[in-house]
Amino acid sequence: RMQTIGKLMKVYITRRIPPEGMKILSSATGVCEVSMWDSDEPVPRTELLKGVQGAHGLLCMLSDKIDAELLDAAGPNLKVISTMSVGFDHLVLDAIKKRGIRVGYTPDVLTDATAELTVALLLATARRLPEGVEAVKNGDWTSWKPLMLCGYGLSGSTVGVIGLGRIGMAIARRLMPFGVKRLLYSGRTTKADAAEVSGEFVPLDTLVSESDFIVVSCSLTPETQGLCDKAFFSKMKNTAVFINSSRGAVVNQEDLYEALTSGQIAAAGLDVTTPEPLPTNHPLLTLNNCVVLPHIGSATYSTRGVMAALSARNLLEGLQGGEMPSELAF
Ligand code: NDP
Ligand code: DGY
């Protein structure tokens, strides 16, 4: 399953990547030799630990845990890690920093695609699209009925964005034209561009209790891990809709299940879960008021192509000691 493309500095790629990225790496034959786990499925850990041995560069995905064990397996050659993602919670930064390794990632280029998907998920969840599609197919659509499949609309609503970063802001910009009345946000710092969406910086508790829609778009950190738990959901309105397109671990899924089944909250839409994939027998998948997607926020052909190209450029520049187009400062 291993594929060797060129020679010189050793690069290991943990998965097949879109051709836009491969093209850049294959044209750098004077710089590096590339080995790739030639599959669309994740490389098994044991294979990964073998594959990285002696590598100067590593191009990885968000599903590869890059920790001290892996860095030790790679050995002292490793100069640069390029992840084909904007999220970097799968990288153990302390261990990476200690070894003086540079990190590239893919901010900005996936912001629009992810914001668009998040809005689609919000609308699908609030307006109960999966239930509607199912009703048409299974014959539950017997007539137009005054209260059939009613949901919640954005017009006149209060939206709360947890983490008004690049993607959070892009989501807010897209939601405002639906007639949102108030846009609340919370995080560590106020944002200068929040004025563009009339964003009000509020304490998390205020956001949770006053919002009709809560959108989680923060990064996963020790502080945000498990942030959306029993106490969080118990402060939400019974009519509120919860959306998460950041990382699954921001949510305590047992507490979310309880909130959805007890009527504590109206509905939830998740593009990210723990674990991924979510087992098909997971309790959340039995609920009509929970819409779960398979982590497809950035999944447009063009965005994935641009992400692959950016990861390849980050890797090559890092290997040559140059300026990486998107280097993570840490
Ligand atoms: P940014 O760094 O621009 O935004 C992250 C935001 O999280 C920042 O505004 C930051 O606020 C905020 N944040 C950090 N800590 C907290 C906290 N304790 N409470 C509330 N907010 C906090 O990153 P992006 O917008 O580009 O990406 C955000 C995340 O989205 C990624 O880390 C990734 O996990 C996820 N993602 C998911 C995708 C999907 O397919 N579903 C696709 C792409 C990204 P502050 O600046 O104040 O610290
Ligand atoms: C990321 O980039 O962090 C997303 O989760 C996938 O695009």
Q: What number is the average pLDDT over the span 112-119? A: 99
**147-182: pLDDT as tens digits:** 999 999 999 999 999 999 999 999 999 999 999 999
- For ligand 1, whether the C-beta of 167 sits within 6 Å is yes
Ligand 2 contact via 165 beta carbon (within 6 Å): no
Query: Does the beta carbon of 160 sit less than 6 angstroms from any atom of ligand 1?
Result: no
Q: Tens digits of per-residue pLDDT, 26-63? A: 999 889 999 999 999 999 999 999 999 999 999 999 99
Task: Find the 164 Cα to ligand 1 centroid distance in Å.
Answer: 7
Residues 249-288: tens digit of each pLDDT? 999 999 999 999 999 999 999 999 999 999 999 999 999 9
- Ligand having the closest approach to the CA of 295: 1
Nearest atom (ligand 2) to Cα of 110: 7
295 assigned to active site? yes
109 in contact with ligand 2, CB cutoff 6 A: no
Q: What is the 3-state secondary structure (H, E, C) of the chain?
A: CEEECCCCEEEEECCCCCHHHHHHHHCCCCCEEEEEECCCCCCCHHHHHHHCCCCCEEEECCCCCECHHHHHHHCCCCCEEEECCCCCCCECHHHHHHCCCEEECCCCCCHHHHHHHHHHHHHHHHCCHHHHHHHHHHCCCCCCCCCCCCCCCCCCCEEEEECCCHHHHHHHHHHHHHCCCEEEEECCCCCHHHHHHCEEECCHHHHHHHCCEEEECCCCCCCCCCCECHHHHHHCCCCCEEEECCCHHHECHHHHHHHHHCCCCCEEEECCCCCCCCCCCCHHHHCCCEEECCCCCCCCHHHHHHHHHHHHHHHHHHHCCCCCCCECCC
Q: Is 326 in the pocket of ligand 1 (CB under 6 A)?
A: no
pLDDT digits (tens, 9 = 90+) for 171-212: 999 999 999 999 999 999 999 999 999 999 999 999 999 999
ipTM of the complex: 0.99
Model-wide pTM > 0.95 = yes
Which residue has the least CA distance to atom 2 on ligand 2?
A: 85
- For a substitution probing ligand 1, which of 118, 219, 270 has the most ligand atoms within 8 Å of its CB? 219
CA of 120 to the centre of ligand 1 (A): 19
